[in-house]
Structure 1
Amino acid sequence: MPNFCAAPNCTRKSTQSDLAFFRFPRDPERCRIWVENCRRADLEAKTSDQLNKHYRLCAKHFDPAMVCKTSPYRTVLKDTAIPTIFDLTIHLRYPPTRHRKRIKELTEEDLQKIKERGSAISIDQLHAKKVAAMEDSTSANEDEPQMSTEEKTLREYLKSLFEILVLLGKRNIPLVADKATDAEHLSNNLQALIEYRINAGDEALKKRFERTAVNTEYLSATQQSQLLDVCENTVREEMLMEVRESRFFSLVTGDLVTFGEVKHLPLFLRFVNQQNVLREEFLDFVPFDSDEFSLVDKLEALLTERFGLSMEDCRGQAHKATGTNTNKMKAVAVLLMEKYSQTLHMPCSHIALNIHLSNNLPYPNVQIVMETLNSFRSFFKNPLTHNELQKAISNHFQKNEEKGAALQEACSSEWTKQHSVFDLLLDLLPPLLLCMDNIRESGHFTDAVRSDAYTIAEMLSDFEFIVTTVILKNVLTFTRAFGRNLQGETLDVFFAVNSLTAVLHSLNEVNDNIEVYHEFWYEEAVAVANVMEVPTTVPRLFLRQQRAANESEVNVEAYYKEYVTVPVIHGVIQEVEDMFSEINLKALKCLSLVPAVMGQMKFNTTEENYADVYSSDLPNPETLPAELHCWRIKWKHRGKEVRLPTTIQETLQLPDVKFFPNVNAFLKMLSTLPVLKLDGKEGDTASERLQAYFDGVPPKQWNKSLAMLSVNTQVNYDLDVMVDKYCRLYPEDEQEAEAEAEMEAEAEAEMEAEAEAEAEAEAEAETEAEAEAETEKEAKDTAEEDAMKE
């Protein structure tokens, strides 16, 4: 039967957590203090014996210094431990229920006493109760057996192995270094680290493997898989506990990854933890080998059945997809919104809006441009190819050195991910083609590199590619500033949202005057093609279709207007309207709750008009107008020395934001929206860490479990928990290890007995030899005496 935590607003139970659960003490004085700190009015009438028998508190409510882990099996409290860590406000977000633990309302003076009590109670005050407490008040793990020496040895050995695996994951080191062609001669990094730890004096590993032949494998593939699974699941469960505590989250998916010839979709969760810090962590890989309906079912099953989350608490979704997968992920987003209306579909904060828009355009010519851009990232990662591009830029812009230098500097960064990527691409088209030709003619590159250069050159020398690039550059000029602001600070995002009408107006004006705009854009494309010596033709397939239909000569400009310009402008308008629908805009306009935005708007904001987006999630929706009025007054009449917080995260860190429960709930839900940027260093998002793992490890050596350890560096986990979990999941391995230990002990005893017997035999032989030597000496002496007498 599971143990449930008696603390208010705590839903943990022993079957879903690795936390320790502790009984209420039988000592009446200590038990009274525990009840007072819990603020459970319904427990005050119960005796200490009743509380000790039927009620528990989990370890989360005690200062870590009060909890002692005496072994992997046993966790106890110090004799003076008092629970002091409780969340007494989270219940305000939820409607009252019949089964909710009732919280006793206290005054500010009572709350202060509770905070001080943890340090006020001295050891002397409770020392008199110590004997009775030791007899009656034990932890929830009081019946756990004491460990034998063999068990302790085994757990130390497992802990050393987990330390090595965690190191491999954090350092992006594959289990096997694939540098040899013969599989039998692959360098085993795990084996090498174990040997290093043994040589460095790791007693647990040394005892385990000291008599193992150095050319044998320390761990079988099955054991490695089991250990890695435990690592992965422990890290994931720690992260999921934080998500469950925060309740609201958003889904973010990344680029497809191929494991074992099966495509997988990386899945991330964005949430605000209990410290009000916005986090985005990697969750798992989802198989991508089915249609959109099956994929939605897989996502739901994964999140709800396996990971214990509720899709009703999902507040946003963002999907990064390219090529033929774009339509599939858009369909997934629509299906999720049909089931869960508050799962708002938005662009992802760490992808430039113009790139996101282009990826979502379902036209083959646009997708070819985007795939070519993606190929540049891996192609120019090689320093030799990058140097060739720098030379080509310098040669092409000999007469305009300033522009050449600017382009060289731009290409030294992640230029394929910038908001102005199509402007850069258009300027780089002639140097890029020159670079590819030089690589193909050079003998300093491998056949594979020259083959890739040939493929890219074929794309670049296609007039349809040039026209499409020019059209994308000009159409997306109207969304470039808008997209850049979306990735800016909170104030920038708020004003970007309010400028959307102007952006759509500009795009519609282009659409209404498409004849004029297309003429200018086509002339620009022809000029670029002339510089690159590319003929201005229509695609070969279209020409063949025209001949088959006995059509007259094709007008090249009219063709590209009908099949490129018009579809692109229509597609961009539709995508912008879909991604920034009315409900999405309402949610983002709630950013006016951030004090800096309120100040910029002269405190004349109207959040009440947008509150219906999250009205069901607010703790006290009926008091929202009055609370918002107080929130505005608070900041409007602040002191001159008080600075207005500029971001959601800064606002959530304010100590008095908890006195505005509706505002607090609004800000936390807004934080999870994928369009808002994450705080922290650039390049430090979970998706970027995952990409760094894939870039740093050869594809054949990719490992899902090590990827989890590499990406979720902010997740705290305990090696002892991993050891406990492994022993629970694989008890037969523990038994085998114990049997091996017994056999080794017996073998050692036999060897010692044999050594003693050999020593005794040697001693007897020495004694006999000495006796024989004495006898021989006596005989010799007698013979000499006899000879002298004669």
Structure 2
Amino acid sequence: MEIIRENRDRLVPIIKTIIFHGRQNIPLRGHRDDGSLLKNENDRESIVCKEGNFRALLRFRIDAGDLQLKHHIETTKANATYISKTTCNELIPCCETVMSSRILEEIKDSRYYSIIFDETTDIAHIAQLSLAARYVDGYGKLHERFLGFVDIHKDNDCSGNIDDEPQESQERSITGEVLGTTILRRMESLSLSLENCVGIGCDGCSVDMSELKGAVAQVAPCRSHQLNLAISRSCKVTSVRNSLGTIEEVVSFFTASSKRFATLKSHLKHSLQSHCQTRWIERHDAVIQFAADLGAVCKVLKEIQCWRDRTTAAKANILLRALSNCEFIVTLFTLSDIMSITYPVSKILQDPSLDVAMAKAKLDSTLKVYDGMRANSDSHFARIVEEAKAVVEELDVEMSVPRLTGRQRHRENCDHNDDAMTYWKRTVFIPTLDHVTTDMRERFAEENIYHLKFNILLPSQLLQHDGNVLTLKLNQCLTELPFFEAESPYVIKKRLMGEIIQYKQTSINALNDRDSVMLALSVCPKSDYPTLHTLYKIFACLPISISTVERSFSTLRRTKTWLRSTMKEDRLNGLALLNTHPDIDCPIDDVINQFARKNRRKEFII
């Protein structure tokens, strides 16, 4: 027993150092990671050799007074120090197992959960599927936890789906079937029951929105991305599409050259933000910021068009003419005004603690604002024109109407007698606003999103409707849930109605008319209202955004860099979990127990 305890104590500082690297996202390896850790300081080779951070931190611990680690390095044999890169590659997956087991325990205790996923390509050109889970823990707290990355192509190859034909003849395409099979296999490896999965969150693209071969009964696309798609649809307006393309060309023009970029920084004191297609918060920032900096950007282009470099000067002249255009200026300030309304909503929808009811309320309030803008289009567009007037005067641009004919074939037909303000209102402002509002209503309609049927459980709805209306709406809600099949629907309905009556009389008044699922769940104890508590928990688990898995893409880029591109999947997941979940403890004893199960020569389990 003393020998086993001593063996375990030898691993403690090593594992602590590995966990420190994972938490802080510090690379472990260096150019040379072999040889004795305690070298002679006068040895020229040890000074020149570029060791990794792991060995450097171990040596720093010894210098700082870690007698336990120093005793281990001095007394053990060279092949049993447990500081080699091979042992590190065994210890990191052990940390992953411990971290994952703690998350999975919370999910299984919660019972109901939702899966959130998205796909990206890493620095090694590997298609990585990021997987996360949304659930309510035993303390009534809502979590969205990152579960790990999966190599989609490798996982598909190992599944036996590749036929007997030569591998060169197979097309490796990421389809809905491949994603569904990968998710099912990953959930099976994590011992997550598919019967308790109440929803799936994805980005709403055609591949993710496919049926996933029976993986889930309902697919719930990301609400924030749905809003992004609604805004993107405004690109069908010709002036909007052309204006966004012009902004992107201007940003690329300055970022492609250090000389142009320095000239821009000397005038703006900051850089222009790129118009990103996927990170749609940046789309808001790019348009709003460009509208504010339009005058300064045109001054820089006027300066650049006088340079001796013919190519650069010609390009600057073309871009300056595109920016000094009445249609571009009106479209830019129109987009800036419309996106200023959706900007705060887009940030709110990325909050993991948000529920479906709160998200729908934010979207409804946004639509009301747009409806008010549409009803008062004359006064609202006049304010937009007033904001753009300063830029128009600075650039010496005339607010004019393009040449019109009797019948327009490639743009909107307008009256010849319309003034410039009326023309641009009818051709730019109203079509763009109508495209956004119409698409948002179609995408977020209750018949398209079955989650919204749960709104009947909100405190305001329970107080508003009588028993007959509640019974009808609850029947529609319960038909979407296969979680009560063990009992008779009649029994469930009667039990639920009885709990709702008691809940309305005793607990609902404590909410003070705040329509939040988590607040309603907090005053709905499972011991008093078991059926209603279950429905509230399912309601809270429904995904709103895939921001959690998109944040894991940032972790992926920081962890798997160009110098660490050959990192294997188990090592990547271990380091990613340590970095993503600093609030989850990784007990050293549990890591040692996992490490001891790998047929070690020394005994580590007491």
Task: Tell me which interval the TM-score lies in, with the shorter structure as reference length.
Answer: 0.5 to 0.7
User: Where does residue 45 of structure 2 map in the other structure?
Assistant: none
Kindly state the Cα deviation for residue 371 of structure 1 after the two structures are TM-superposed.
Answer: 13
Q: Distance in 1 between matches of 2:303 and 2:595?
A: 53
Map 1:86-235; keep pairs closer than 5 Å: 147=1, 149=3, 151-176=4-29, 186=50, 188-210=52-74, 219-235=83-99
The answer (yes or no) to whether the contact 1:372–1:456 under 8 Å persists in 2 is: no
Pair 1:612-2:495 in alignment: no
SS of residue paired to 1:280: strand
Alpha-carbon distance, 1:258 to partner: 1.1
Match of 2:575 in 1: 706
Task: Indicate the structure whose relative CO is greater, using CA pairs within 8 Å and at least 6 residues apart.
Answer: 2
Give the Cα–Cα distance (whole angstroms) in 2 for the partners of residues 587 and 185 of structure 1.
60
| Cα shift at 1:302 | 3.6
Distance 1:174 1:158, change over 3 A: same
Q: TM-score, normalised by structure 1?
A: 0.50
Structure 1 residues 659 and 173: alpha-carbon distance in aligned structure 2, compared to 1, 3 A threshold:
same
Q: Are residues 1:582 and 2:458 paired?
A: no
Distance change in 2, residues 1:230/1:341 (3 Å) = same
Larger radius of gyration: 1
User: Per the alignment, do residues 341 and 472 of structure 1 end up closer, same or farther by CA in structure 2, a change over 3 Å counting?
Assistant: farther
**Shift in CA distance, 316/238, structure 1 to aligned 2, threshold 3 Å:** same
> Partner of 1:334: helix, strand, or coil?
coil
How does the TM-score come out when normalised to structure 2?
0.63
The answer for the alignment partner of 2:292 in structure 1 is 428
Match of 1:284, SS? strand
C-alpha deviation, 1:272, in angstroms:
1.4
Equivalent-residue separation in structure 2 for 1:632 and 1:435 (angstroms): 68
Contact 2:128-2:150 within 8 A present in 1 as well: yes
Shift of residue 307, structure 1, vs aligned partner:
1.6
- Match runs of 1:424-573 below 5 Å: 424-430=288-294, 433=297, 472-473=335-336, 492-493=358-359, 495-496=361-362, 573=438
Identical pairs, percent: 19
Counterpart in the other structure of 2:208? 332
Per the alignment, residue 306 of structure 1 pairs with 189
Distance 1:213 1:360 in 2: 67
On the 8 A contact 1:250/1:343 being kept in 2, the answer is no
- Corresponding residue of 1:691: 554
Query: How far did 1:242 drift?
Result: 2.0
Once the two structures are superposed, what CA deviation does each residue of 1:86-132 show, in whole Å capped at 9, x if it has no partner? Answer: xxxxxxxxxxxxxxxxxxxxxxxxxxxxxxxxxxxxxxxxxxxxxxx
Q: Indicate conservation of the 8 Å contact 2:112/2:198, yes or no.
A: yes
* Alpha-carbon offset, residue 664 of structure 1: 0.9
Is this contact kept in 1: 2:135–2:142, CA < 8 A? yes
Alignment of 1:292-441 (within 5 A): 292-320=175-203, 329-336=205-212, 339-348=215-224, 354-355=227-228, 357-358=230-231, 392=267, 417=281, 421=285, 424-430=288-294, 433=297
The answer to whether the 8 Å contact 1:471/1:521 transfers is yes
3-state DSSP class of the match of 2:211?
A: helix
Query: Aligned to 1:331, what secondary structure does the other structure show?
Result: coil
- Whether contact under 8 Å (2:176, 2:209) holds in the other structure is no
Taking the aligned partners of 2:125 and 2:585, their CA distance within structure 1 comes to: 32
Could you tell me how far apart the structure 1 residues matched to 2:303 and 2:184 are? 49
Preserved CA contact (<8 Å) 1:422 1:469: no
1:726 counterpart residue number: 595
Q: Of the candidates 518, 527, 532, which is equivalent to residue 663 of structure 1?
A: 532
- Whole-Å separation in 2 of the counterparts to 1:566 and 1:667: 40
Change (3 A) 1:520 1:646: closer
User: Matches of 1:667 and 1:360 in 2, distance apart?
Assistant: 34
Q: CA deviation at 1:192?
A: 1.7
Q: Which amino acid aligns with 1:232?
A: E
Q: CA deviation at 1:230?
A: 1.4
Deviation of 1:710 (Å): 1.0
State yes or no: 1:258 paired with 2:122: yes
**Secondary structure in 1 matching 2:143:** strand
Residues 624, 662 of structure 1: 8 Å contact kept: no
1:5-154 to 2 correspondence within 5 Å?
147=1, 149=3, 151-154=4-7
- 1:270 offset after TM fit, Å? 0.9
- Opposite residue 155 of structure 1, the aligned amino acid is R
Decide whether the 8 Å contact of 2:199 with 2:542 is kept in 1: yes
From the superposition, tell whether residues 656 and 224 of structure 1 become closer, same or farther in structure 2 (CA, over 3 Å): closer
Kindly state the Cα deviation for residue 723 of structure 1 after the two structures are TM-superposed: 0.8
The alignment partner of 2:147 has SS state of strand
Q: Please state whether the residue corresponding to 1:428 is helix, strand or coil.
A: helix
Q: Could you say if the C-alpha distance between residues 307 and 522 of structure 1 is closer, same or farther in structure 2, counting changes exceeding 3 Å?
A: farther
| Aligned mates of 2:318, 2:149 — CA distance in 1 | 35
- Matches of 1:439 and 1:718, distance apart in 2: 62
What residue is the counterpart of 2:36 in the other structure? none
Q: Read off the aligned partner of 1:427 and give its amino acid letter.
A: A
Amino acid in structure 2 at the alignment position of 1:266: S
Residue-by-residue CA offset, 1:370-408 (whole Å, 9 max, x unaligned):
9989x99xx99xxxx99998974589xxxxxxxxxxx99
Confirm or deny: 8 A CA contact 1:337 1:343 kept in the other structure: no
C-alpha distance in 1, partners of 2:541/2:56?
43
- Alignment-mate amino acid for residue 293 of structure 1: G
- After superposition, give the CA deviation of every residue in 1:647-699 in whole Å (9 maximum; x if it has no partner): 3223333363432222111111111122279xxxxx9x675476368569966
Alpha carbons of structure 1 residues 636 and 555: separation in structure 2 relative to 1, 3 Å: same
For 2:554, the aligned partner's letter is Q
Task: Name the Cα RMSD after superposition.
Answer: 5.9
How far the C-alpha of 1:608 sits from its partner, in A, is 1.6
Q: Tell me, yes or no, if the aligned pair for 2:456 and 2:462 is still in contact at 8 Å.
A: yes
Q: Is the 8 A contact 1:170 1:713 kept in 2?
A: yes
For structure 1, which runs of at least 5 residues remain unmatched after alignment?
1-146, 179-183, 321-325, 396-406, 409-414, 442-453, 537-552, 678-682, 739-790
Match of 2:538, SS?
helix
Q: Is the 8 A contact 1:269 1:283 kept in 2?
A: yes
| Amino acid across the alignment from 1:163 | K
Taking structure 1 as reference, are residues 583 and 293 closer, same or farther at Cα in structure 2, changes over 3 Å only?
closer
The number of equivalent residue pairs is: 507
